[in-house]
């Protein structure tokens, strides 16, 4: 894998500042060349709203994979594409509907890009609207225009950027109900969206625990060599095992908690995270337990309870967003 441009000393110092928040509190994004015409765009440190993107180009056309949570960050992404020598993206694929991956759609649509996604992604993008504003109202998002996919698919879709084949497929409800995996078979590179977190706690309240486990099996079957997760550093397929171990951990906690008549918050508070304590955003555990409980009981997810309990697990403080 080619070397990448990393963070500046000032950005690293800001990220360590006590009480720091906002864009200056985290390292700067960087581009990782993966193969000729294929790049990942990483936004450290991969926490809440600091997602990854990517782009594929043949020098004449550019396909962008996901956008960013603010207009400023979407413009930085656009600048990074231009700095690589690639044309302005004419196609944008959303791996799912969450605002950190879709809020920047409008920036690229204004340049003429067609937005592509699973039918469920389009539906949810429209349904939830300015979702991030409701959770983190203090973030400077800019003038975000909710821009859903105008080209949708249900099972799979194959695109060609020059000689590069880009396969999109829906793994079923997993991280969300409208996930898309972006697979480059010749280069053996997979962009997973938030089916995979590298160094961060997986997050499934908007999807399915069982579906997330099934999605991992589909990802393994690809026999990829390079994995671009939705959050965290570019990695290899070994990350699939880490995510599965965590999901099995959630599965076991949920089964025992329901049998004992304990709430997701009670179970999460008493859980021994062991090695999973090293994963960022450990407060997501209680949200994942809410999903597992809801699936087992056949009831809708109580989203206000998820957000309230995650804040409780975060020491009673709002969830940290540095977008």
Residues 6+ apart with CB under 8 A from 89: 55, 62, 63, 64, 78, 81, 108, 111, 113
User: 13 vs 186, which has greater pLDDT?
Assistant: 186
Q: What value does the mean pLDDT of the chain take? A: 93
pLDDT (0 to 100) of residue 24: 75
Contact (CB, 8 A) for 55 and 39: yes
Among candidates 159, 187, 162, which has minimal Cα distance to 58? 162
Contact (CB, 8 A) for 46 and 201: no
pLDDT in tens, 286-311: 999 999 999 999 999 999 999 999 99
CA distances from 320 to 197, 277, 311 (A): 17, 17, 10
User: 319 vs 24, which has greater pLDDT?
Assistant: 319
- Can you say whether residue 236 is alpha, beta or left, with left for phi > 0 and alpha for psi between -120 and 50 degrees? beta
User: 8 vs 136, which has greater pLDDT?
Assistant: 136
3-state helix, strand, coil in the chain (%, to 5): 35, 20, 45
pLDDT (0 to 100) of residue 25: 79
Locate 34 and state its tokens.
């993966």
Locate 78 and state its tokens.
């656009």
Strand blocks (E) in 50-143: 53-57, 62-65, 91-93, 114-118
Cβ neighbours, 10 Å, residue 80:
18
Phi, psi of 36 (to 5 degrees): -55, 120
pLDDT in tens, 112-155: 999 999 999 999 999 999 999 999 999 999 999 999 999 999 99
pTM score, whole prediction:
0.92
Locate 178 and state its tokens.
């409208």
Sheet of strand 181-184: strand arrangement: 156-161, 164-169, 181-184, 189-197, 226-231
Among candidates 181, 220, 202, 182, which has minimal Cα distance to 46? 202
How far apart CA 301 and CA 287 sit, in angstroms, is 10
Contact (CB, 8 A) for 92 and 73: no
pLDDT (0 to 100) of residue 82: 98
Residue 18 has pLDDT above 90, yes or no: no
DSSP 36: T
pLDDT band for position 2 (50/70/90)? very low
């Amino acid at each position: 894998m080619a070397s990448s441009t990393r963070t500046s000393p000032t950005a690293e110092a800001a990220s360590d500042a006590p009480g720091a928040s906002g864009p200056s509190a985290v390292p700067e994004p960087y581009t990782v060349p993966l193969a000729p015409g294929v790049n990942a765009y990483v936004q450290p440190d991969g926490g809440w709203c600091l997602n990854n993107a990517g782009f594929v180009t043949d020098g004449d056309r550019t396909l962008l994979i996901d956008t960013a949570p603010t207009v400023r960050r979407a413009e930085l992404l656009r600048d990074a594409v231009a700095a690589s020598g690639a044309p302005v993206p004419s196609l944008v694929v959303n791996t799912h509907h969450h605002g950190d991956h879709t809020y920047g759609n409008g920036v690229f649509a204004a340049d003429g890009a067609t937005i592509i996604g699973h039918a469920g992604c389009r539906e949810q993008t429209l349904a939830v609207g300015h979702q991030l504003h409701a959770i983190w109202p203090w973030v400077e998002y800019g003038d975000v225009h909710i821009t859903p996919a105008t080209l949708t698919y249900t099972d799979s879709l194959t695109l060609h950027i020059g000689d590069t084949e880009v396969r999109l497929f829906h793994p079923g409800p997993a991280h969300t109900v409208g996930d898309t995996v972006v697979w480059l078979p010749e280069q053996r590179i997979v962009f997973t969206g938030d089916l995979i977190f590298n160094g961060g706690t997986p997050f499934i309240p908007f999807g399915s625990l069982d579906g997330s486990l099934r999605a991992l099996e589909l990802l393994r079957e690809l026999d990829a060599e390079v994995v671009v997760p939705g959050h965290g550093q570019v990695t290899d397929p070994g990350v699939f095992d880490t995510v599965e171990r965590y999901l099995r951990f959630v599965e076991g906690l949920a089964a025992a908690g329901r049998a004992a008549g304990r709430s997701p918050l009670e179970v999460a508070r008493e859980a021994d995270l062991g090695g999973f304590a090293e994963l960022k955003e450990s407060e997501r555990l209680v949200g994942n337990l809410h999903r597992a409980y809801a699936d087992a009981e056949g009831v809708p997810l109580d989203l206000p309870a998820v957000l309230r309990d995650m804040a409780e697990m975060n020491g009673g403080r709002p969830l940290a967003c540095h977008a």
